[in-house]
Amino acid sequence: MEAAERSARDSSRAAAEMESRLQVTAAFSAALTGEQIAEEVVRHSLKQLKAAAAWLVVFDEQRRNLRTLHTDGCDPEVVARHEVVASDASLPLAEVARTGRALWYPKPRKLWARMPVFAAAKIEVGSAALVPLGGAGDCMGALGLCFPQRRDFSRGERDDLLTLGRMAGQALRRAERYDIERGIAGSRQRWLLPAFPELPPERCCVRYRPAERGPQIGGYWYDAMDLSGGVFGVVVGDVVGHGIDAAAVMGQMRSAMRACVLSDHDPGHVVTRLNTMAHRFPGMTMTTLFYGLYEPAGKLYYVSAGHLPPLIKNGGGAVRALFDGPPSPPINVRAGHRYFTATAPLEPGETLVGYTDGLVERPGEAIDDGIARLAAALAAAPHDLDALCDHLLDHRPPGDHHDDTALLALRP
């Protein structure tokens, strides 16, 4: 009977441990940054492992220092004084990070002897465990846990804590690579986009926000051109796809678009030529774009090649969408297609807003509802163009943004 009960308890404990590891794995998979991972490690330590305090530190890029990434249950003054410590410091956490070997303190006396500052803080600790974040040859830092009661740290408990440290180290390494890749990709994207539009800031304002998940580079772009004599050309485009390939196509499209505009301003002619070029060159993919040409007489000549309808806000605050019958096909969909120029009034003081789907799309919601939500945000936006663009970005759909967002506002 005892053996059966013990077996049942062991099975129940093993199932609980497996469930706990699955929860941690899922949380680490959802976390993108080192800070998010550290926060999840500390939360798990306090909630699931019943630690009274947790302190997580990671190496800097040169591995000369350890910086605190997240803590909970620790004295704020002590944390502030040790937020960054030398990696060769004699502190136990630094030793664990350097050597990749855990330290176990079933009683706090030995820990206090090595860290008198903590003893002076009168932290109530029954035992402590310090584990590396990763293996000896690939350690990202260390995690220190204090428990309210004495623990002898059985073989099973030590294995669980070491496994948590290894999982956290792997997740931190992944986040580090992700940050590097996003930084490189973001630099390339910024290089491909114009730093500032050619138009004066009181006439034109642009914004670009990369996706929060996935590659921080894609095929979204904007452009604004001063074509002399008070004539302005504006473009918002979206190359289908993500990553370096989409960005490369975007760079080609933007350059080709500018070349076409400089030789012939007419939107229908420009987009038709662009479509012909896209079909002739290998590697080009489907692209939606809006190209508008403003003339001082208060006219906007434009083509929308499968793109989302721009919005126009008049001086009284009313907003209308720029629709003109059935949409024309995107670029590189229909070979030989001829695009025609549409015309709409755009009076001085009115504001034209072009955008990409990252500003309006929400999973499970019709795109028209997203456009209506953007129109309401535009109606309530401040008059200043910079503030207006910031206001629209602040009203993006909530949640993780899987698509980049490009935004252009023109006020002739």
Write the pLDDT tens digit of every residue in 246-285: 777 777 888 888 888 888 899 999 999 999 988 887 778 8
| Tokens 């004495």 sit on residue | 150
Beta strands in 192-310 (DSSP E): 204-209, 218-226, 232-242, 287-295, 299-305
Alpha-carbon torsion 304, 308, 314, 319, what sign?
positive
- Average pLDDT of 334-357? 95
**pLDDT over 70 at 159, yes or no:** yes
287-295/319-321 β-pairing: unpaired
Whether the per-residue pLDDT at 181 is higher than 60: the answer is no
Using DSSP, state whether 71 is helix, strand or coil: strand
Give Cα 275 distance to the centre of its chain.
Answer: 32
Instruction: Delimit the domains of the chain by residue range.
Output: 2-183, 196-410
Going edge to edge, which strands form the sheet with 218-226?
218-226, 232-242, 287-295, 299-305, 342-345
Mean pLDDT taken over the chain: 83
The superfamily (CATH) of domain 196-410 is: PPM-type phosphatase domain (3.60.40.10)
- The pLDDT > 90 percentage for the chain reads 48
With contact defined as beta carbons under 8 Å apart, do 346 and 412 qualify? yes
Q: What is the mean pLDDT of residues 122-127?
A: 74
Could you give the percent of the chain with pLDDT greater than 70? 80
Confidence (pLDDT) at 404: 76
CA dihedral 147, 150, 155, 156 (to 10 degrees): -50
Tell me the whole-structure pTM to 2 decimals: 0.56
With cut-offs at 50, 70 and 90, classify the pLDDT of residue 318. Answer: very high
Q: In the predicted model, is pLDDT for residue 368 greater than 80?
A: yes
CATH topology of domain 2-183: Beta-Lactamase (3.30.450)
Q: What is the pLDDT of residue 122?
A: 55
Determine the length of the chain. 412
For residues 213 and 314, which has the higher predicted lDDT (pLDDT)?
Answer: 314
Sign of the C-alpha dihedral, residues 393, 395, 401, 405? negative
CA separation for the pair 219, 287 (Å, rounded): 9
